[in-house]
Amino acid sequence: MIQITGIRLEGGQGHEHISDVLWRSAATSLACSSRQAIVDWLSEGNENQAVVADGSTYVQVVIVRRPSQPPYLRTRANGVWTDSLLSLPAF
């Protein structure tokens, strides 16, 4: 599991404009990956998971797939879309 800690936006302010993310894991103190790299990693299997800290809880990062649009990342908590990724610091 990785925890996403920062985002880079290109060309707009919505989730679909997240181009890169900063993240950390138990094995990695801090790394930067493109949105596509995270989408590919999450798509490999259920054992690959990403979260965003929201206070003392964690919100799951999921892939949004829409026709005629590249896949993008968004958070979802208890079946409800959230803006936790957009609340992270920009880098």
Range of the domain at 61: 2-82
The predicted pLDDT at position 24 comes to: 97
Asked if residue 90 is part of any domain, the answer here is no
Q: What is the pLDDT of residues 11-65, one digit of tens each?
A: 999 999 999 999 999 999 999 999 999 999 999 999 999 999 978 899 999 999 9
Instruction: Say if 51 falls within a structural domain.
Output: yes
Q: What pLDDT, on the 0 to 100 scale, is given for residue 60?
A: 97
- What's the domain count of the chain? 1
pLDDT attached to residue 56: 87
Task: Provide the token pair at 7.
Answer: 């985002």
Q: Distance between CA 50 and CA 43 in Å, rounded? A: 11
Residue 76 lies in a domain: yes
Task: Judge whether 22 lies within some domain.
Answer: yes
**Which pLDDT value is given to residue 86?**
97
How high is the pLDDT of residue 55? 80
In the sheet that holds 50-54, the strands lie side by side as 31-34, 18-24, 2-9, 50-54, 57-64, 72-77, 80-82
